[in-house]
Amino acid sequence: MPGLMFSVKRTYCRRCILLIAILVVGGILSCQRLIGKETPTVYLKARPWPAADRLFHQDPRWLGADDAHSVDLGKGRVLWLFGDTFIEATGSGDRARSDMIRNSIGIQAGSDPSSAIMTFFWNQTGTHPPASFFPESGQTWFWPGDGIRIGRQLLIFLTVIEPFANDLGFVMAGWRAVVVDNPDLPPGDWQAVDVLKTRGKFSLVLGTGGLLRHAGCIYAYGTNPRGNQTYLARWREEQAGEGDLSDPEWWCGAGLGWKRESLMDGEPAVLFADAQAEFGVHFEPRINRFVQIQTTGFGAGSLGWRIAPRPEGPWGPLTDFYCPKEASIPGILIYAAKSHPFLTGADLVITYATNHADPERLNDYPGLYYPRMLQCWFESAGGAE
């Protein structure tokens, strides 16, 4: 039990550093508050999807995680990328006996999460304790960002975390990209994995806010280390598919447009300053707009969305569209909302993560710390789209 409590406190601290900037910038938001002066002409609606939640409860050894980025691998296979994960290797299903590892992954078979099969993966050898799928490097560890399939290659972004002499004991120290050459094989057979160190010119963390394929480019959203300001970089798709993420183009604002990092004197432009570190972005053909999904506020927050005609914007105001039922739990933490547009069973599938400010209460609420799924749809003022 002491080891479990330490691990959960570490996870809670992680979310504090990513979300505290939002609290400072915007204050604690109620579930009904609209952010911005205008509401969209199209509304996003959501409801819980308990049948899809069962996707994350199919292995009694895998007892919950956060992050929950997803990647379309094709042919009905979906890769899930998780952060801090509870593993109880004996399969007892008892979270109090579990270990916490820094990351894990899952492979979903079937595009509808309410009927799909999930297989989870982490590293474990013999009687040794469970270990992260993406191994630590010395004292440095990795939390997953988003990923994307580019031809035969799989590109995955990782956030680099290093020990640091602050109140939390760690700092977001940059990002790396992992290239998998044979993602059609089971993850246990993935052989060619290349970790690319890409600190770049700026102290920004790319890939935490989602990846897009658009007009021949791969777009990567990211944040500053505080997690409240969003930036955008891109590469030509052929370049990114070859694992070359050097010298990205950054969005530098409407006046300057896109500029290569090697030619920049100043920092790139801020897309919006009321973000959180983890969010999702996708193109939504039903409304012919790019859609950004995130959580709003700190603690018992809600889910919000905004739209734009292009990946770089201009982005509209952030608007709350859903208040999770868990918001009524004292001490709740709701965060890391993301869209999963290639999943079926709804117009749009969205997940969010839950945690608790008091680590000991996680055992009182066994449903917490599993990703939660939402069925979503779009409505205009005159009714459903």
pLDDT per position as a tens digit, 140-196: 999 999 999 999 999 999 999 998 888 778 888 889 999 998 999 999 888 656 656
Distance between CA 319 and CA 322 in Å, rounded? 10
Mean pLDDT calculated for residue range 67-73: 97
382 pLDDT band, cuts 50/70/90, is low
How high is the pLDDT of residue 242? 85
Domains contained in the chain, number: 1
Distance between CA 348 and CA 195 in Å, rounded? 32
140: DSSP letter: B
Decide if pLDDT at 71 tops 80.
Answer: yes
The boundaries of the domain holding residue 51 are: 2-384
Decide if pLDDT at 324 tops 60.
Answer: yes
Element (H, E) at 12: helix 2-26
Bigger pLDDT: 174 vs 8: 174
- pTM value surpassing 0.85: yes
Share of the chain above pLDDT 70, in %: 86
Residue of 350, 281, 341 lying closest to 315 (CA atoms): 281
How high is the pLDDT of residue 32? 39
Residue of 236, 241, 212, 206 lying closest to 224 (CA atoms): 206
Decide if pLDDT at 86 tops 80.
Answer: yes
Give the rounded distance of the alpha carbon of 25 from its chain centre: 21
Decide if pLDDT at 319 tops 70.
Answer: yes
Decide if pLDDT at 287 tops 70.
Answer: yes
Number of Cβ within 10 Å of residue 222's Cβ equals 26
How high is the pLDDT of residue 385? 59
205: DSSP letter: E
How high is the pLDDT of residue 359? 80
127 pLDDT band, cuts 50/70/90, is confident
The percent helix, strand, coil of the chain (3-state, each to 5) is 15, 45, 40
Residue whose structure tokens are 């989870």: 120
Contact 172, 225 (CB under 8 A): yes
How high is the pLDDT of residue 130? 97
Decide if pLDDT at 30 tops 60.
Answer: no
197 pLDDT band, cuts 50/70/90, is low
Provide the CATH number for the domain around residue 18. 2.115.10.20
19 pLDDT band, cuts 50/70/90, is very low
Residue 164, both tokens: 């640091």
Q: What is the pLDDT of residues 222-273, one digit of tens each?
A: 998 877 899 999 999 999 988 889 899 999 999 999 999 999 999 999 999 9
384 pLDDT band, cuts 50/70/90, is low
Decide if pLDDT at 13 tops 60.
Answer: no
How high is the pLDDT of residue 116? 98
Decide if pLDDT at 302 tops 60.
Answer: yes
Element (H, E) at 240: helix 237-241
How high is the pLDDT of residue 120? 98
